[in-house]
Amino acid sequence: MSSAERMGEGIGLDMAEDREDYILNKDHLFYWLRQLRKTAELIAPKRELSGEITFTTVVNIHDIALNYTAPILSTKHILFPQTDIMFKYSLKVPGKVQSTFNARKKVVFGVPSCGISALLIADRVFGNGYTDLYYFARRKNTIFVSIGCNNPLQTCFCYSLGTGPFLDHGFDIQLTDLGDRYFVQTGTDAGKTIIMQYRFLFDEADKEDYDDQYETMLTAQSKFEGRIDLELYRKKLENGQINEAFYEWTADRCFECGGCTYLCPLCLCFNIIDVEETAKSVTPEKSKDFLKTPSGERFRIWDSCMFAGFTKMAGGVNPHWNKKDRIKRWHYHKILYYPEKYNVFGCVGCGLCTITCPGKIDMANTVIRIKNL
Amino acid sequence: MNPYLPQAAEIMEIKRLSKDVKSFIVRFTDKEAMHSFKFMVGQFVMVSLWGVGESPISITSPPHEEDYLELCIKDAGRLTHYIHQLTNGDRIGIRGPYGNHFPLERLTRRDLLLAAGGIGIAPIRSVAAEVIRNRDLYNKVTIIYGARTPSDLIYSKELRKACLENNIRLLLTVDKGNNSWKGKTGFVSELCSELDLTTTIASALICGPHLMMESVTGRLINLGFSEDQIFLSLERQMRCGVGKCGHCYVNGKFVCEDGPVFNYSAIKRFL
Ligand SMILES: Cc1cc2nc3c(=O)[nH]c(=O)nc-3n(C[C@H](O)[C@H](O)[C@H](O)COP(=O)(O)OP(=O)(O)OC[C@H]3O[C@@H](n4cnc5c(N)ncnc54)[C@H](O)[C@@H]3O)c2cc1C
Ligand code: SF4
Ligand code: SF4
Ligand code: FES
């Protein structure tokens, strides 16, 4: 394996040399999306029967929820699905495996800025060392159209981290909702291309548009109430200022549901599992039967470090047996070690863990408590 | 190249080494793959059995052996139990090698201590073979190795012979002896009191269960070994082997990628 391959070089997106800004009349939006859907799978926020917003493949263009507050799920599943087939194996030719890459062209519309920020960090995780081809096969074929958040929720703290509510880079296309029209910014060549194909729908942005966009951005920023200071938490961790009793307190409140990790756009851990196509029940004593099983698949599936079995080794030894150690591990990873390795936190302040955590020991609540320790 | 894809390997020979340990001599079915497979002592491979899964297993044969790989596998759980049912000619999947290695190339002219506990002998056997091949490059060499009972001491005949021929001291111990066992009983760490290495120029390479590594390291430091001359091979649950799945993550390091071999001074905060 060449060193270039190992480093995941050449996999990042090409930034557009000169970025261009446009205006899209809201009346034209669905027409544009309809056109895009002719050549790519369109994924957009959809209101489910439960009322919650998920990012789903669009069947009916009118299902797209334009004015949603927060999705119930992040967009991580688009490049890193909850279950992802890695390859098929056939026992007729044991060992000959064929990798399965899902590289359909996709346009993801309506991603919040924190989702894009998470994506840029995930790129580094999947590209560091060995390149994860499953992730990047999708990455290279997916265009993200983000929408800056005009109305952040109380649970959001992207502004404290610089990961939202608007971005100045990293997006393919960023929209700002200006009421009757969208301010459209292009960040990459790929983003520019899908605008150029339908250039007649877009107007040049003029001075008033820039002013409105700037105003909208400032207003959104002013809506963040509390400042969640992850840097303070990091310093306290580094200096060993947070005692075990605090983590014991959190552990008492944790239900081990794994919700925080499943929802977090930067929790990227997984397990790897084989499934036989002929689901025979085979006992170890008859393990040769496996060799007769014609074929199957190996896939990966989201896993959670909040579960006790996550680190369990053969013989039953487990370095992170108790809940307290597992919660600590999660926090240390995001707050101490992400910055050490990537110079960013493993958290973009999306607040999804706050919405989900039944024990109220999500990232934001933890950090608020830490402030007073 | 997709790092998750295993390559087919055929089992050429199986040796039973103890009640629950077998050694498997395997060869990639693709000649080119066998020829281009290079590794260093202490590295591991991910071993697959279709329909069951995969596990990290150290390479126990010496790196200069180009025609085959030897894997020494303890029946410890699901996958390893299935592997123990296989016979000659059966095929498994192998990907790797992964991880870093014991830094033998940096330890020339030093005294060496190789310490193994239980199945930890698997990578240490490969280290010993490499040391023997370049015996002149090292000073005094001692191997200490312990297992539960005399019959759990695997490769012991072979080790005795090789050590005798190559001026290497071999100290064995068992937790629990039997009537025919004339050697020592007690934990591996207790053998440390018999070492006659010059600690100022000695390096230690250790692999074994957590407790064993902890106690041996403690002893060595008391004897005057310098912390940065102690190298430990850690075990963690592993799924991907390539620094992605997060299972082996410990204090900012991936054992599969940054390890499995760590310098004691770098990891003492979490050993
Ligand atoms: C770098 C490295 C090198 C290694 N080298 C070697 C080597 O050379 N030789 C060697 O023999 N070993 C080696 N190991 C250890 C080896 O990887 C493990 O013994 C092996 O992974 C066990 O896999 P398994 O599938 O057989 O066990 P598993 O099935 O994973 O079992 C692990 C433990 O969990 C329990 N368990 C499994 N499933 C469940 C469940 N559903 N519910 C509850 N409990 C469960 C099992 O009983 C067992 O105690 C190495 C490990 C590492 C990290
Ligand atoms: S830790 Fe919580 S707030 Fe931070 S990115 Fe993950 S889910 Fe969002
Ligand atoms: S969401 Fe809250 S309760 Fe559930 S595992 Fe995470 S910390 Fe524990
Ligand atoms: S085994 Fe997956 S990260 Fe180390």
d(CA B182, CA B159): 17
CA terminus-to-terminus distance, chain B: 34
Per-residue CA distances from A241 to A59, A234, A235, A236 (Å): 52, 10, 8, 5
Per-residue CA distances from B237 to A37, A257, B84 (Å): 43, 21, 20
What pLDDT shows up at residue A4? 32
Contacting A residues, span 277-336, partner chain B, CB-CB under 8 Å: 282, 284-285, 287-288, 290-291, 293, 296, 298, 300, 303, 305, 310-315, 317, 319, 329, 332-333, 336
**For a pLDDT cut of 90, what percent of chain B falls above it?**
85
Does the distance separating the beta carbons of B7 and A95 come in below 8 Å? yes
What pLDDT shows up at residue A47? 87
Nearest to B49 among A126, A290, A315 (CB): A290
In sequence order, which residues have a C-beta less than 8 Å from that of residue A369 and are 6 or more positions away?
A246
What pLDDT shows up at residue A82? 93
d(CA A45, CA B148): 59
Both tokens of A62, joined, read 């009118």
Which pairing describes strands A181-186 and B202-207: parallel, antiparallel, or unpaired?
unpaired
d(CA B169, CA B196): 10
Among residues B141, B147, B148, which one has the least CA distance to residue B121?
Answer: B147
Q: Is A95 left (phi over 0), alpha (psi -120 to 50) or beta?
A: left
What pLDDT shows up at residue A73? 81
d(CA A326, CA A329): 5
Per-residue CA distances from A143 to A187, B47, B212 (Å): 11, 37, 52
d(CA A257, CA B100): 35
d(CA B265, CA B227): 5
CA A228 to ligand 3 center in whole angstroms:
19
Side chain identity at B116, as an amino acid letter?
A
ipTM summary value: 0.91
Which portions of chain A are predicted below pLDDT 70? Answer: 1-19, 91-96, 98, 277-294
d(CA A269, CA A260): 13
Both tokens of A190, joined, read 């790929």
Distance from the Cα of residue A101 to its chain's centroid: 19
CB of A351 sitting under 6 A from ligand 2: yes
The model's pLDDT over A91-121, given as tens digits with 9 standing for 90+, comes to 665 556 767 777 789 999 999 999 999 999 9
SS3 B170: strand
Does the distance separating the beta carbons of A129 and B243 come in below 8 Å? yes
pTM assigned to the model: 0.90
Which portions of chain B are predicted below pLDDT 50? Answer: none
What pLDDT shows up at residue A290? 54
Written as one string, the DSSP assignment of B103-133 is: -GGG-TTSEEEEEEEGGGHHHHHHHHHHHHH
What pLDDT shows up at residue A18? 64
* Chain B residue closest in CA terms to A85: B4
Q: Are the beta carbons of A340 and B252 closer than 8 angstroms?
A: yes
d(CA B3, CA A360): 39
What pLDDT shows up at residue A11? 41
Q: Which helix (H) or strand (E) holds A26?
A: helix A26-37
